[in-house]
Structure 1
Amino acid sequence: MKTLKNQTLLYDEECPLCRVYTKGFITTGMLDENGKKPYCQLTEEEQNFIDVQRASNEIALVDNENKTVLYGIDSLLKVIGFSFPWMEKVGNWKPINFLLKKLYSFISYNRKVIMPSKKKTEIKLECVPDFNIKYRLIYIIFATIITIFTLYKCAQIITILPNASIYREVILAIGQIGFQLLFLTKTDKKTNLNYIGNLITISLLGAIILVPIILLSSIIELPHLFILTWFGLTVCIMIAEHYRRINILELPKYLTLTWVLYRIIALGIILNT
């Protein structure tokens, strides 16, 4: 593996994904031992030639000798392409590059609702991406669609429920957002969309946990008690995760109670239809 020397990636140390892939670059020898640095540790001298705002949205690769900077997908292609030139060539092909940049922006602008972190007032330079309504809405719609289809498949294997309906799952997903917003009416648009993003991420997490049991059910006949237990444990994990995120976002703790209340009401309606 060829090593790209005298280059440093500025990463968000609060982002688990950022920590993993920057460490991976160094472990595999693609970057030298000084190949990564937390964004919050930028010096005043470095801030003179680095676009600090852009670097919070797109990971920056700093050339320590020439004092030049690449951002986002271009920085990652530079690191990977030094060891695998063909990958950089493919990645820079206009159609592919366009898609990679859109995918990168989709993940980067939503990383704080995918994996939130508590705001640290003692740190002057936090690596927090700009609030982008377009990418937030795309994420909410994307995650909601995946959740809806997963829960639809799950409902098909829970025999105590009435016949599964994709329309029912759509109503439940949209209703969940509307119900919770009733208790956030005094907050601003950014807070609302940040909370909804986290709310949908929790639903997506639940859907991911349910995937193995859905796949198993398509292969073998599982005991109904086993399916219900798995589903119950999934709900417990989701409740705990909701409470954890509420604390990180510094939102009222009663939102977890209203979230649970909505699901109890929804289940009661489903069982009586």
Structure 2
Amino acid sequence: MGKTIEGKVAFVSGGSRGIGAAVALRLASEGADVAITFQQNKDRAEEVVELIRRQGRRAVAVRADSADPDALVDALNGTVTEFGRLDILVNNAAAFPVGPIEQFGPDDLDQTIAVNVRAPFIAAQTAVRHMESGGRIINIGSNVAVRAAFPGFSLYSMSKTALIGLTKALGRELGPRAITVNLVNPGPTDTELNPSDGPMAETVNGFTAVGHYADPEDIAATVAFLAGPDARYITGATVDVDGGFAA
């Protein structure tokens, strides 16, 4: 089989580790040139860039805090300047506040909404100015937007639930331009922030149908499908890649 997105350009926010890094590497393996953003760890971001380049694709890492609208817009526009086009936007960067609702102040609320809601909106707004027919916007949500099985996720769940509405409405708006918009809700996924051998892992596994965490590559595979030509008739959809967590 040939590469499904040969010659396309992808932008992945928060692409230096975890699901974002896996997505960036998978899109590169399918033929895309990739720009990723990072906030702090430049070395990790450059490692991802190097792995992409070893696949024969172009890559760049840009320091950009998704809570800063100007930085995000500059990163997207810079990607177009660097690579000449933009075909795929993956809104992956996220804030992950967990705790009793009483502990969160207005600054916590503002930061979470800025990263998890405002940033995907602004990124999409900027990206569609450059996208042609066949463009793809893929938002990364969370299983807790579908099923809040544990206490302490009220702020995070609220912010990720907003992506359902954004995805549906943008899918409707951009459909006539043949730009699809979809949402991927990962379930428990083995990352640094949520390791499969962590203190809650056994309990979390019990909430899934398959009994174990996903690998980041499992999420990346779904994103790659939605980014490719076989997903051209899928838009406004939510895809749960959660091992049956919401079943």
Q: Common fold, TM-score beyond 0.5?
A: no
Larger radius of gyration: 1
Higher strand share: 2
What TM-score, normalized to structure 1?
0.27
What TM-score, normalized to structure 2?
0.29
